[in-house]
Amino acid sequence: MSTSRARDVVDARLVDEAAQWLARMHAGRFSEADARRCEQWRNQSPEHQRVWQSAEQLSRKFGAVLPAVGMPVLDRRRGLANRRAVLRTVAVLLGAPSVAWIGYRSVPWQALGAEYRTATGERRDIELADGSRVALNTATAIDVMFDATQRLVRQRGGEILVDTAPDPAPGAHRPFSVETAQGRLRALGMRFIVRSEEGRSRLTVLAGAVEVRPVRAADAPAVIAAGQQVTFTADALGPVTAASPGAGAWTQGVLYAEEMPLAELLAEIGRYRSGILRCDPAVATLRVSGAFQLADTDRILDVLAQTLPVRIDARTRYWVSVNAR
């Protein structure tokens, strides 16, 4: 067995043990004796310390804001992508800082318990009680709240395309709104996309218009017209720009790229596959144009290798690097 392979086996065992310790710690059944044994485990070697620190970082990356859900999400990932996939993620966290990486792909803790949600690579169409339709993109979670005064979709994360319908309630004029962590959007028209990411949201209006109000902005809400898009935080709106070509193509399983930097394209592809997809900075600025079928992201990577001066180094299905050829 080679030295690297021997280390791989040792790391896999240590990662598994570290995950178990974290699971116990966050489960609320961690006694003083457990704490002493965990400390003894961590102090066995520098390698134990390194893996423990990485496991804690990975747990935080999965959104372990609430102790009760942080490790169950890690456990879910281990079930979906197996223990080796977790090892690969930890390895990336420990890897060379010169290599850009596109992070984990699992259901975030915010999505747990959502009324509607999709897994990584999954898309779903739903029809709401008023006849409006919502398309959920990969790794998306929403709740729907209709009452006598409002029609509200609370978006916990991910990306949705909304086709609004007139309010069918007799004599009612309930506004149709989408709420993200960064603000509230009120539909003035009928077709728009909302993408919610960590710290920001992006609105793309395909038809009609949408009113946007960031959570903490003091200014009057802005109205974004068809063919426009805007990114906003909880504090402010960014500049209004033309909508990206093919913005809603993901509903048909297609990703359009027009002179898109390779690193940005890989970040988009990474949303539809489990594991880690890394981009070598040496090729990050290569420009790519084309239409790519999202149902087979491995095929997309093969095409990139055939048409660009890059090679695909896949240690496993869940740990892939795109490097200069």
Chain segment 11-23, per-residue pLDDT in tens: 556 766 776 676 6
Q: pLDDT value at position 42? A: 84
Collapsing DSSP to helix, strand or coil, 163 comes out as strand
What angle do helix axes 46-61 and 3-26 make, rounded to 10 degrees?
60
Q: Which residue is associated with the tokens 């500049």?
A: 239
Report the C-alpha gap between 119 and 24 in whole angstroms.
26
Is 261:281 a contact under the CB 8 Å cutoff?
no
Mean pLDDT for the stretch of residues 240-255: 92
Question: Given this model, what pLDDT does residue 63 score?
Answer: 37
How do residues 279-318 score in pLDDT, each as one tens digit?
A: 999 999 999 998 999 999 999 999 999 999 999 999 888 8
Place of tokens 């966050």: 26
With residue 14 as reference, give the H or E element that holds it: helix 3-26
d(CA 191, CA 168): 18
Across the chain, mean pLDDT equals 79
Residue 148: C-alpha distances to residues 145, 151, 167, 260, 319 (Å):
10, 8, 11, 45, 49
Residue 86: C-alpha distances to residues 78, 92, 99, 191 (Å): 6, 10, 19, 39
Distances from the Cα of 66 to the Cα of 18, 30, 110, 262, 319, angstroms: 19, 16, 10, 35, 28
pLDDT, tens digit, 9 for 90 and up, residues 148-170:
899 999 999 999 999 999 998 88
pLDDT mean over 254-277:
93
**Rounded to two decimals, what is the model's pTM?**
0.67
21-40 pLDDT, tens digit per residue, is 766 665 555 677 777 888 88
- Measured distance CA(147)–CA(149) in Å, rounded: 6
Beta bridge partners of 278: 101, 321
What is the distance between the alpha carbons of residues 219 and 165, in angstroms, rounded to a whole number?
A: 29
Instruction: Give residue 174's region: left, alpha or beta (phi > 0; psi -120 to 50).
Output: beta
Q: Would residue 152 be called left, alpha or beta, if left means φ above 0 and alpha means ψ between -120 and 50 degrees?
A: beta
The arithmetic mean of pLDDT across residues 41-64, rounded, is: 67
Q: Please state, in angstroms and rounded to a whole number, the distance separating the CA atoms of residues 12 and 219.
A: 52
So what's the pLDDT on residue 1? 41
| pLDDT band at residue 77 using 50, 70 and 90 as cut-offs | very low
pLDDT at 24: 64
Check residue 110 and give its pLDDT.
52
Each residue of 111-135: pLDDT tens digit?
A: 557 889 998 999 999 999 999 999 9
Q: In the chain, what are the domains?
A: 3-95 (no CATH), 109-242 (2.60.120.1440), 253-324 (3.55.50.30)
Judge contact between 35 and 22, C-beta under 8 A: no
- Provide long-range contacts, Cβ within 8 A and 24+ apart, for 241-247: 243/204, 243/205, 243/206, 244/204, 246/291, 247/193, 247/204, 247/206
CA end-to-end span of the chain: 28
The whole-angstrom separation of Cα 90 and Cα 93 is 5
Low-confidence winner among 78-87, 89-98, 293-302, 309-318 (lowest mean pLDDT): 89-98
Among 231, 200, 233, 202, which Cα is nearest to 216's? 233
For residue 58, is pLDDT > 80? no
